[in-house]
Amino acid sequence: MNDKTILSCAVTGNITSPAQNPNQPVTPAEIAQAAINANKAGAAIIHIHVRDLETTEGSMDIGLYKEVVDRIGESGSDLIINLTTGEGGRFIPTDDDPRVAAPGSTLCRPELRVAHVKELKPEICTLDFNTMNSGTRTVINTPRNVEVMANVINEVGTRPEIEIFDSGDLNMAKDFIKRGVLKEPAMFQMVLGVPWGAAANYETLAYLVSQLPADCIWGAFGIGRSAFPMLALSYIMGGHVRVGMEDSVYIEKGELVKSNAQLVEKGVGIIESLGGTIATPTEARAILGLSS
């Protein structure tokens, strides 16, 4: 196991919604405050999406990202910012002509998906390797597009967090490492429990971990009801962990979570009850090889 465990908090995403839980942060002020409070509760890394202020759907508006980042910076918090690049990869085919995108599709040029990273230069950003079905939608991350995004991320000095949703994603990421597109030691995040992706169980996580490159840094998290079981399993197997209202809107069965900080507090309690110690942002930077 790690001497210290990094806990990330994904405070808001693009799937869970205020309709599911009215405590979901939406505005830049709400997202920034949720990040600050989660950091105070024990999260070293805060994973950030932004949302359209009218529809509350996921957004790629650089201005919204900048406001969140600026608000966090002005607070004096030392948390590590991890910006998503997952927006812009969704495709929904129309029924009568599957080549034509239906309403709700966001698929766009890869350069646009990392434009906010190029401008804001966060310490970390995600890099999704999944092409998969997700509900009625399809997420598309072609090798060419992922490589374009990886090159931009590398150029600005941001650390990519490689998000793996199934074993094929891991195989593609290892090819990127072999070709030098991704630098070692790589940082992996395994996503478990998404329908039609990697299952949230020991056998699946054990297989994925067995296939990881040597000396990489890795973590895993579960979706919905698997969030806390997978947090415990990832820790026990030697990985880092993640919670947040992007992944789960409940704190207990049938009980809506009040805040991201509440999820972090429960996650910290589980890790400490198992004998672990949560890394501070400074300690997390040292583990990840980030500059101070």
pLDDT digits (tens, 9 = 90+) for 257-278: 999 999 999 999 999 999 999 9
CATH of the domain at 133: 3.20.20.70
51, pLDDT greater than 70: yes
Question: Could you tell me if residue 273 is inside a domain?
Answer: yes
Mean model confidence pLDDT for the chain: 97
Q: Which residues pair with 80 in a beta bridge?
A: 45
Q: Looking at residue 37, what is its pLDDT?
A: 98
Q: 80, 46 in Cβ contact below 8 A?
A: yes
Q: Looking at residue 180, what is its pLDDT?
A: 97
The residue range of the domain holding 216 is 7-288
Q: CA 136, CA 131: separation in Å to the nearest integer?
A: 14
Q: CA 135, CA 281: separation in Å to the nearest integer?
A: 35
pLDDT digits (tens, 9 = 90+) for 220-231: 999 999 999 999
1, pLDDT greater than 80: no
Question: Could you tell me if residue 54 is inside a domain?
Answer: yes
Question: Could you tell me if residue 2 is inside a domain?
Answer: no
The verdict on pTM exceeding 0.85 is yes
Q: Looking at residue 130, what is its pLDDT?
A: 97
204, pLDDT greater than 80: yes
Q: 97, 60 in Cβ contact below 8 A?
A: no
Q: Looking at residue 134, what is its pLDDT?
A: 86
- For β-strands 124-128 and 80-83, DSSP reports them as parallel
Question: Could you tell me if residue 81 is inside a domain?
Answer: yes
Q: How many domains in the chain?
A: 1
292, pLDDT greater than 70: no
pLDDT digits (tens, 9 = 90+) for 99-151: 999 999 999 999 999 999 999 999 999 999 999 998 888 999 999 999 999 99
Question: Could you tell me if residue 1 is inside a domain?
Answer: no
28, pLDDT greater than 90: yes
Q: Looking at residue 22, what is its pLDDT?
A: 97
